[in-house]
Amino acid sequence: MISPEEVMGCNLTLEVLRGCDYYCSDCTVDKGAETLDISDEDTKDILSLIDDFDERFYKKLEFTIGPTDFISADNGLSSLDHPLIKGLNERYISMVIPLVMLNDRGLDTLAAKLEESMPGGNVVINVPVTLKNMRNDKYRAMLDKRILYFKGMLRTVKLHHVNLNVNVMLGNAERITADEDRYLQGLQFSAKTAIEYAFGHSRKGLNNILTTEELKRDIALYSAAVRGLADTKLNKFLVPRTYDAIELVFRNSKLYYLPIVFERFPMFIPEFEIPKPWTADKVAEFKEKVVTDNLIYFSENKVCSNCCFLPNCARGDVQTMTRMLSFDNCLIGMKNRWDLDPFSYVYGRDSDNELE
């Protein structure tokens, strides 16, 4: 019998929005690249893939429509009428949309459209934020007011939760510390609030030495912050557990497996492309191959071969990153740190953050 914890999450992101009116300082999204040009064949193939994920083994948690601000994107509202989005709404627990929420414009229209297209459904909003703004009382009050305003306009649709999305680069990376993470994890707005980190560097491509150096530095800063939370309920090990969710991205008619090392790395390169026909078995095989390839790589690698976390890092995509960054040291800064128990990862948001 499979316990609920062993049922693997299965999340899908559609990168189909084009255009954005904003200029976030740490944005790495190519705002003009995508179109909601999803063929009937791809619609059928994606829906049949999602149906193929057996409910006993996979839980269809969230699908995301991105990558740009949903209201200012050229095709945000109209995307909700697309048969693929409608079909995913029937299958997934929640739909996630990015909303920058810097003004009220369009929030009423969006609420009305959600009521029309997915009555009774769950919506999650991803708000791109900076750590600097999160320490600004005025900004937080403004954001909370808008979340409340938006929530108040929803009648049957539930605002399931709000994700504060932090891009771990530039000013954010410089500010991230264990205390800062603890502060962020403690923030609650007028809807249940969670923090999500991502490394946007990979969107710029990792063939530029400046980008790779920046990524190495930011990984080190993030890793130090996470290590500072060891032995607390906020501790999180830096590579995924066996049953962590499978993350897939559909983009330009291709389906990608999303590598996770510390957080999500959007990497739209052939190595991560899942060929058609898309089936749940193919995705599982792809994941297995990542683990096997990583194990082979690590066992031959002078740094990792004698490390206690070898199986954990093989399960993540540390190997791919290590190779792409030509890194000859422990990428995640945890070599043989027995004290950082990989199994003590807790999704803890309790008032008492310390472990008993």
* Distance in Å from the first CA to the final CA of the chain: 30
Choice from 80, 318, 321, 324 touching ligand SF4 (CB under 6 A): 318
Which residue do the tokens 């750590």 mark?
A: 131
How far, in Å, CA of 205 to CA of 290, rounded? Answer: 20
What are the backbone angles phi and psi of residue 148, rounded to the nearest 5°? -65, -40
The reply to whether 16 sits near ligand SF4 by the rule CB under 6 A is no
Q: Does 170 bind ligand SF4 (CB under 6 A)?
A: no
Sign of the CA dihedral running 116, 119, 121, 125: positive
What DSSP string describes 167-205?
E-SHHHHHH--HHHHHHHHT---SS-EEEEEE-GGGGG-
Q: What pairing do the DSSP bridges indicate for beta strands 246-251 and 254-257?
A: antiparallel
Of 123 and 331, CB closest to ligand SF4? 331
**27 is a site residue for ligand SF4 (CB under 6 A):** yes
Residue 128 is a binding residue for ligand SF4 (CB under 6 A): yes
Site for ligand SF4 contains 68 (CB under 6 A): yes
**Nearest distance, CB of residue 182 and ligand SF4, angstroms:** 23
Least distance CB 318 / ligand SF4 (angstroms): 5
> Is residue 240 a contact point for ligand SF4 (CB under 6 A)?
no
Minimum CB distance to ligand SF4, residue 122 (Å): 22
Give 29 or 280: the residue with its C-beta nearer to ligand SF4: 29
CA distance 313 to 223: 14
Distance in Å, CB of 159 to ligand SF4, minimum? 19
Q: How far apart are CA 10 and CA 12, in angstroms?
A: 7
Residues that bind ligand SF4 (CB under 6 A): 20, 22-24, 27, 29, 31, 68-69, 98, 100, 128, 298, 303-304, 307, 309-310, 313, 318, 330-332, 334-335
